[in-house]
């Protein structure tokens, strides 16, 4: 067969005049293509034998066949080249289907290949094809018709990684419909893969470079520089990327050059299949056997006795000669920096200014509790104050001087609506969206590069890492659905078997027992199953929130729901309390590291709701160290109005918030409610179906004038809830009380504009998945670092399929994202719902253990647990954003990851400031290094000098200076709250600064450089030098000397 193919070619090459027709054919031939059925032809390597001894009835393996075709083509090329004739490329079909071995032989022999999509299964082989710049001619439409769906074709992955890929048609007869198949191929790829014009031009250029058209033709098409229509920036990027990669490989293997063969790759392949004549023996020596080389390649691609991870770790450890021996390994990591000219486009500058305006609007509204490093006001009670809700707004005055007017001033509803419109205009601006889209993509790519460069070091940072021992908080879970269906079933069966005589209701003077209730509805507990409870979600609930609400009705029965899942019923919520304590809380107690913030509803239907809830909590002993309570406010005005419970929206607000003002002004009026609010409630939520269409926002209609049955619009609800919570917080913080966060349901469904209201008013939000629809909104959430508690399993049943959920995107980009369960009763199957949520996410989105621990750490930081608790879980300096605040043995998050997030955030803000050509312009959500140094230094001095503890009031809380908030707040008592201790505390940082050593001052001047680059001096070394006089204090703060 070889003789029949190649002897005529040799004869025509040696005697062209005697074989004119074949010579003319060869002058128009560019190369040779080998086609075989890769699904049936094997690559097994039997004992090598020459072609003359291969039996005619057996097909040789592809590797032998390809080798002899290549050897003949190469030999023919060498002769023709010496005579000035055209030469041929060797381009086999390989890697369309079948085993990766076909691609191994192609790597050794081919100039380029057709298809090659199976390269994707071997990262090592893909990397080698990249380094060698072997051309891949990929046919996505043909692949889609035969083997691989278009969306799963690796063409885009190859193109992004820098492989030399081009598009081709394969068989237009079978796979194309237009008159221009190649244009159809390019057009389809452009739409499916969102290729830009530059991308298309680069792919087209690759096709010319891969081809074997003569040099004059290529020069005509691409120009002398071979650039074509591809911008210099793109070509320079490609060239520099692989040049740096090859240099990196040379450095890594520098110490092993004596043991390893010389490692060298060229930027491209020769037009001849083999560049060196040494590759093929002379005729006297016979033909080189390919078996040894192929087996060596196979072993490298699929090692069986070689631990790649350990080898890479060893190489990294031995080759990193530049690292400081005193450096912390966790801070010594490879950074990704973007350098180049700054764009001064006026439209870009205007877009950055709009982003700045958006951040400023949030700062105008959002309430933030005084940070833990600042002292708090002493506990005090002053019953001289009184509060009245006027037009839905709290109006606080002193009884003795009501003419002085209200104490607290917040933006009114008209101003709120104007700021909302300004924010809406900013995020809808085309330039802002383009900027946000590009910056978010960059954040995505930065994280991918960080993972590629540092994942091994992150894994090695904590040998004892155990996700199960990372503290985690389910920051979004509803208590009425906080148990699992199995736990609920066990509880009902237990009650039916042992407590049938419990009196559960009274009807016209006749008592009704639990057994009577079961008999009335023909419920046989012996036949009950989880399915028959009909509480778990299924596909029928997708985009049907109304049907989802019905799943709270056990066995479809509202009376059972009221009895078992509500605290306000004839039994005083006894069954609800027992179910929570014996099932949900008991499960929490078995896991030392899992906590929750369960929601319980207060509707605003009566003034005594708060009193009843506090009594239920106290009577049944509902306190648990594993749980904090959030009060959820259902936006259920229409239900309350139609039920005759309220006559106006103002009545809902009055019933909701006036009791809180009364207990805040005079805690002794109801000690049980005061204890519940102070010790066990961390914040408020606002919930309901967001997908309902909102009425127009009419600010001129006050809550007392809202007297119809229509539900107020979302923004109306949110503003009046926010203004009441914020005013209450301002009063409570000035009197040494605990405050409440505002963490509503926002962005689960419905209008994306709800996220703007959440951005303005919320401390954190639940869900937020609609951010995926608007890059500008997602970007401002990133800049503000607003907590987002996502519940993917809940979303997948109601509004968004699991693999379309944006959570992994949020996390990679650096949003303050955490995982939560929402409603375990409906959405979970195991007895550990939060662990189930993490487990599925880790498998579906390939989250590493470091990722899991970081998400868990985010959940703790977002939660409303007390400062002292967070100190136990994350370390004494948990509130610092850099690695200085990270305690590896508690959070199990490597300092590398924390430092990466810290640096990338500040780099992002610095980029925006550079566009505007200014500094310290943006309000940053993370402290800078300068600020962190000042805080820690002050704390260390306090501890060293024995004045770290302030005077305490009768509640045991610290006595501090008055908290200064950005809102207009007068001192209600008109008194000077500063004593001698406070003055010492205030001046301590200044005194300490004056006593700094000169070396410390020098380091302080270099803080900005440290913000950008922590690698030159280990962070802990800076800490130790910065606070050398307070070593013991620093040790107590969790900073090692």
737: Cβ–Cβ under 8 A, 6 or more apart, which residues? 379, 664, 678
pLDDT along the chain (1041 residues), means of 10: 89 91 91 79 62 74 84 92 91 84 86 90 90 92 89 92 93 90 92 91 94 91 90 89 81 60 42 34 34 44 38 43 36 79 84 95 92 85 86 84 70 95 96 96 94 89 85 94 90 90 87 89 85 80 72 81 89 92 89 94 94 95 94 94 94 95 94 95 93 88 93 95 95 93 94 95 96 96 97 90 95 97 90 93 94 97 95 94 92 93 93 85 90 87 63 38 44 38 34 34 41 40 42 54 39
How far apart are alpha carbons 23 and 117 in whole angstroms?
35
323: Cβ–Cβ under 8 A, 6 or more apart, which residues? 332
How far apart are alpha carbons 892 and 886 in whole angstroms?
9
pTM (two decimals)? 0.77
- φ and ψ at residue 629, rounded to 5 degrees: -105, 135
Burial class (CB in 10 A: 0-12, 13-18, 19+), 709: exposed
How far apart are alpha carbons 396 and 732 in whole angstroms?
12
Matching residue, tokens 């009364």: 662
29: Cβ–Cβ under 8 A, 6 or more apart, which residues? 86, 88
What's the confidence (pLDDT) of residue 286?
A: 35
What's the confidence (pLDDT) of residue 247?
A: 79
- Nearest alpha-carbon partner for 891 in 876, 909, 901: 876
The number of residues making up the chain comes to 1041
Matching residue, tokens 């990327």: 241
Q: How far is CA 198 from CA 203, 238, 267, 736, 856, in A?
A: 9, 13, 21, 61, 41
Q: In angstroms, what is the C-alpha Rg of the chain?
A: 35
What's the confidence (pLDDT) of residue 639?
A: 93
What's the confidence (pLDDT) of residue 1036?
A: 57
What's the confidence (pLDDT) of residue 944?
A: 75
Tokens representing 445? Answer: 């790519």
Q: What is the DSSP string of 206-255?
A: HHHHHS---HHHHHHHHTTTT-TTS-HHHHHHHHHHHHHHHHHHHHHTGG
CB atoms within 10 A of CB 22: 15
The 3-state DSSP class for residue 92 equals coil
- Nearest alpha-carbon partner for 139 in 116, 162, 106, 158: 116
767 noted as active-site residue? yes
What's the confidence (pLDDT) of residue 1012?
A: 41
Residue 376 near residue 963, CB atoms below 8 Å:
yes
How far apart are alpha carbons 599 and 480 in whole angstroms?
8
β-strand pairing of 510-513 with 135-138: unpaired
β-strand pairing of 503-507 with 510-513: antiparallel
Helix axes 123-132, 101-109, angle to 10 degrees: 20
What's the confidence (pLDDT) of residue 45?
A: 60
How far apart are alpha carbons 894 and 492 in whole angstroms?
45
| Torsion of Cα atoms, 650 then 655 then 657 then 663, to 10° | 150
What's the confidence (pLDDT) of residue 302?
A: 39
How far apart are alpha carbons 732 and 738 in whole angstroms?
7
The beta-strand segments (E) located in 861-966 are: none
How far apart are alpha carbons 160 and 157 in whole angstroms?
5
The 3-state DSSP class for residue 884 equals helix
How far apart are alpha carbons 818 and 475 in whole angstroms?
8
How far apart are alpha carbons 580 and 585 in whole angstroms?
6
Residue 782 near residue 437, CB atoms below 8 Å:
no
Q: How far is CA 579 from CA 37, 301, 308, 465, 582, in A?
A: 64, 56, 51, 34, 6
From 767, 828, 906, 941, the catalytic residue: 767
């Amino acid at each position: 067969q070889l003789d029949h193919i190649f002897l005529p070619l040799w004869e025509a090459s040696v005697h062209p005049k005697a074989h004119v027709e074949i010579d003319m054919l060869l002058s128009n031939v560019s190369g040779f293509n080998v086609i075989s059925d890769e699904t049936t032809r094997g690559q097994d390597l039997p004992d090598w034998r020459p072609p003359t001894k291969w039996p005619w009835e057996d097909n040789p393996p592809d590797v032998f066949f390809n080798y002899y075709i290549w050897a003949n083509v190469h030999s023919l090329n060498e002769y023709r080249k010496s005579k000035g004739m055209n030469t041929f490329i060797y381009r086999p079909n390989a890697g369309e289907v079948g085993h990766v071995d076909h691609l191994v032989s192609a790597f050794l022999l081919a100039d380029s290949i057709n298809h090659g999509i199976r390269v994707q299964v071997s990262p090592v082989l893909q990397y080698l094809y990249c380094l060698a710049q072997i051309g891949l001619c990929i046919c996505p439409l043909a692949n889609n018709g035969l083997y691989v769906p278009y969306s799963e074709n690796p063409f885009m992955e190859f193109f992004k990684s820098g492989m030399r890929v081009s598009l081709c048609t394969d068989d237009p007869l079978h796979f194309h419909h237009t008159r221009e198949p190649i244009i159809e191929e390019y057009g389809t790829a452009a739409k499916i893969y969102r290729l830009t014009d530059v991308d298309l031009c680069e792919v087209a250029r690759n096709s010319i470079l891969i081809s074997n058209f003569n040099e004059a033709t290529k020069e005509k098409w691409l120009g002398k520089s071979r650039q074509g229509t591809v911008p210099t920036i793109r070509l320079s990027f490609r060239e520099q990327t692989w040049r740096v990669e090859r240099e990196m490989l040379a450095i890594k293997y520098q110490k092993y050059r004596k043991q390893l063969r010389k490692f060298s790759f060229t930027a491209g392949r020769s037009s001849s299949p083999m560049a060196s004549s040494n590759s093929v023996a002379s005729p006297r020596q016979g033909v080189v056997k390919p078996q040894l080389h192929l087996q060596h390649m196979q072993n490298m691609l699929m090692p069986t006795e070689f631990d790649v991870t350990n080898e890479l770790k060893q190489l990294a450890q031995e080759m990193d000669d530049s690292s400081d021996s005193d450096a912390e390994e966790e801070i010594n990591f490879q950074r990704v920096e973007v350098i180049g000219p700054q764009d001064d486009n006026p439209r870009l500058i205007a877009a950055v200014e709009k982003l700045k305006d958006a951040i400023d609007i949030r700062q105008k509204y959002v309430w933030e509790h005084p940070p833990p490093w600042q002292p708090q006001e002493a506990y005090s009670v002053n019953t001289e104050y009184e509060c009245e809700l006027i037009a839905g707004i709290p109006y606080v005055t002193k009884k003795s001087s009501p003419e002085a007017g209200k104490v607290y001033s917040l933006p009114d509803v008209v101003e709120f609506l104007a700021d909302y419109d300004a924010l809406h205009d900013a995020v809808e601006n085309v330039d802002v969206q383009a900027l946000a889209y590009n910056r978010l993509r960059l954040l995505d790519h930065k994280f991918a590069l960080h993972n590629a460069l540092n994942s091994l070091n992150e894994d090695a940072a904590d040998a004892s890492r155990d996700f199960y021992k990372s503290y985690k908080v389910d920051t979004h879970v509803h208590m009425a659905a906080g148990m699992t269906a199995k736990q609920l079933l066990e509880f009902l069966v237990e009650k039916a078997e042992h407590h049938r005589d419990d009196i559960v209701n009274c009807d016209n003077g006749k008592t009704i027992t639990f057994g009577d209730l079961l008999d009335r509805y023909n419920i046989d507990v012996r036949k009950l199953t989880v399915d028959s409870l009909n509480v778990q979600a299924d596909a029928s609930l997708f985009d049907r929130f109304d049907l989802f609400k019905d799943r709270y009705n056990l066995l479809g029965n509202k009376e059972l729901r009221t009895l078992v899942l509500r605290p306000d019923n004839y039994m005083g919520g006894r069954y609800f309390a027992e179910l929570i304590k014996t099932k949900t809380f008991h499960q929490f107690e078995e896991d030392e590291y899992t906590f929750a913030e369960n929601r319980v509803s207060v509707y605003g239907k009566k003034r005594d709701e708060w009193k009843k809830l506090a009594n239920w909590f106290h009577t049944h002993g509902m306190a648990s160290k594993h749980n904090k309570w959030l009060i959820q406010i259902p936006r259920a005005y229409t239900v309350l109005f139609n039920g005759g419970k309220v006559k106006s929206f103002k009545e809902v607000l009055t019933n909701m918030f006036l009791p809180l003002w009364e207990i805040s002004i005079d805690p002794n009026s109801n000690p049980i409610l005061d204890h519940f609010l102070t010790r066990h409630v961390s914040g408020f939520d606002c919930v309901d179906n967001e997908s309902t269409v909102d009425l127009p926002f009419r600010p001129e209609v006050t809550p007392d004038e809202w007297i119809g049955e229509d539900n107020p619009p979302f923004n109306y609800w949110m503003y009046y809830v926010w203004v009441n919570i914020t005013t209450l917080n301002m009063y409570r913080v000035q009197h040494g009380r605990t405050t409440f966060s505002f963490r509503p349901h926002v962005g689960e469904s419905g209008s994306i504009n709800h996220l703007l209201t959440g951005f303005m008013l919320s401390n954190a939000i639940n869900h937020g998945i609609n951010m995926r629809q608007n890059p500008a909104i997602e970007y401002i959430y990133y800049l503000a670092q607003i907590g987002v508690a996502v519940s993917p399993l809940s979303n997948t049943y109601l509004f968004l399929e699991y693999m379309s959920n944006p959570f992994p995107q949020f996390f990679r980009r650096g949003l303050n994202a955490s995982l939560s369960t929402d409603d375990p009763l409906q959405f979970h199957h195991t007895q550990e719902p939060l662990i189930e949520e993490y487990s599925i996410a880790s498998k579906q989105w390939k989250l590493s253990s470091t990722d899991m621990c970081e998400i868990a750490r985010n959940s703790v930081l977002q939660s409303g647990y007390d400062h002292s608790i967070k100190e136990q879980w994350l370390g004494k300096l948990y509130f610092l954003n850099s690695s200085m605040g990270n305690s590896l043995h508690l959070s199990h998050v490597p300092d590398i990851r924390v430092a990466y997030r810290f640096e990338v955030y500040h780099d992002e803000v610095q980029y925006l400031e550079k566009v505007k050509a200014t500094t310290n312009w943006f309000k940053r959500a993370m402290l800078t290094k300068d600020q962190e140094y000042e805080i820690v230094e002050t704390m260390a001095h306090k501890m060293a000098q024995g004045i770290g503890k302030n005077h305490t009031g009768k509640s045991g809380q610290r006595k501090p200076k008055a908290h200064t908030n950005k809102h207009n707040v007068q001192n209600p008592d008109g008194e000077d709250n500063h004593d001698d201790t406070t003055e010492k505390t205030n001046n301590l940082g200044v005194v300490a600064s004056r006593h700094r050593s000169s070396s410390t001052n020098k380091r302080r001047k270099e803080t900005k450089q440290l913000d950008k680059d922590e690698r030159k001096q280990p962070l802990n070394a800076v800490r130790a030098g910065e606070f050398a006089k307070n070593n013991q204090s620093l040790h107590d703060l969790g900073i090692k000397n």
